[in-house]
Amino acid sequence: MKIDVRSPQSLYITIGNKTFYIDDSTNESIMELLEDERYCNNCGSKLGIDCGDAEPDYNEEFCSKGCYKETKNKNNA
């Protein structure tokens, strides 16, 4: 299981290939099951669609090499 906190009011929980998205930032108590959908760990764009860099998805976790590098840099900082 992976928990990806995006803000104090929103997060993604990934269990297997299912992702649950919880967001209360707009006070709407959004809880969604995003089945078999994957999102870039860096920019949050849906994988399978490029995030503007016109690159194919880099891997299962990132939409592009740029996003992969950015996250790596953040983790090292």
Give the chain's length. Answer: 77
In the bound state with Zn ion, the residue whose beta carbon lies nearer, of 12 and 51, is: 51
Size of the site for Zn ion (CB under 5 A): 6
Contact positions with Zn ion (CB under 5 A) in 5-64: 40, 42-43, 51, 63
Residues 6+ apart with CB under 8 A from 21: 10, 11, 12, 30, 31, 32, 33, 34
Q: Which helix (H) or strand (E) holds 41?
A: none
In the bound state with Zn ion, the residue whose beta carbon lies nearer, of 32 and 55, is: 55
Chain contacts with Zn ion (rule: CB under 5 A): 40, 42-43, 51, 63, 67
